[in-house]
Amino acid sequence: MSDQHEQHGRSDDQGHRHFETLAIHAGQPADAQTGAVVTPIYQVSTYKQDGVGGLRGGYEYSRSANPTRTALEQNLAALEGGTRGLAFASGLAAEDCLLRAVLAPGDHVVIPDDAYGGTFRLFAKVVERWGVRWSVADTSNVQAVRDALRPETRLIWVETPSNPLLGVTDIAALAGVARQAGVHLAVDNTFASPYLQQPLALGADIVVHSTTKYMGGHSDVVGGALVTSDAELGEQLAYHQNAMGAVAGPFDAWLVMRGIKTLAVRMDRHSENAGRVAAMLEAHPRVARVYYPGLDSHPGHEVAAKQMKAFGGMVSFRVEGGEQAAVDVCDRARLFTLGESLGGVESLIEHPGRMTHASVAGSALEVPADLVRLSVGIEAVDDLLADLKQALG
């Protein structure tokens, strides 16, 4: 692999620029040949060599590197304050690459007691089969995580805010635990996005994203990402990305970059709307409990206020009347679209127990049957409030 090729996915030093500027410009200079201000879609599999081994810009085959993906990877690294970014075909592909890069048979991982169902399925049904053990801890409780560590622990896995109960973990505190134990700390930053929260600056070793969600932001692409500031770890991840091959295609990379350009303004509106929705739900007689870090009643509110710029666009709540009442609310919603996923400009509603988190049924991560999860979009908030009120009855 050439020296030039080794530079793909690395972010140059642009720390003097504000986030909104980096989101639009990092890794994306005007095209040298045409002056195009948008990175081209290099829909290509292979590249002409100038003699054997004479690579142009280090590109030889698009699984190993592609100019469009390189632009996205450099942008991701800059936004998370890292030095190496890697883009994948999905969030789970990114997770799988990370686990294979840092774990071996016999190793142990601490996972949260509230997490995306696909992440739990990956641990419980896939990596466990090749000898990796895992145990569950309440990651909002630093001592609980410390107690869950074993001599063979190699990784602490965190989601904050978590999916779907919006739990909040003190990243800096757990980074201290991880350093003391000599293990890696991985933070899934999907719900927050780098605009609201930057785990590497708080001491995490690796940031994980489903770029399908807020980074893409338009429900039109599936992707994932890993970002780190550890050069050695970055090389291990890049090696496995190439060896395993679940890379982001050039058009998917381009769509994520297109979405990232408006990430800051979208997250401001998502957060503003979600705060209004959460306040309305907390006062509604048909709602038993609201999960949103921006509420003073949330147990992790102070930690979230310390490590997040704002509180994001995800809200979950429990409905009086049990599981069927929660399902009925989902069915009655009209402006909120009933569907899985999250983070798009349009508002979504779902029943986690029967949809996104069906895979955790019967486990320590099982979600309440009366839970409804909202991905609050950027529509007019009064329209969103009216729809939820009619859905609640």
Active site residues: 63, 116, 188, 213
Task: Find the angle CA(172)-CA(174)-CA(179) to the nearest 5 degrees.
Answer: 95
Inter-CA distances, 152 with 134, 135, 145, 306, Å: 10, 12, 14, 32
Contact 161, 312 (CB under 8 A): yes
Contact 181, 174 (CB under 8 A): no
In the numeric block, the tokens 């994520």 are attached to: 256
Residue 108 CB neighbour total at 10 angstroms? 18
Question: Which residue type is seen at 119?
Answer: T
Inter-CA distances, 364 with 182, 233, 267, 288, 368, Å: 26, 31, 31, 22, 11
Counts for the chain of helices (H) and strands (E), in that order: 14, 12
- Joined together, the tokens standing for residue 227 give 């970002």
Evaluate the omega torsion of the peptide bond into residue 164 and state whether it is cis, within 30 degrees of 0: yes
Inter-CA distances, 83 with 75, 139, 157, 256, Å: 10, 27, 21, 19
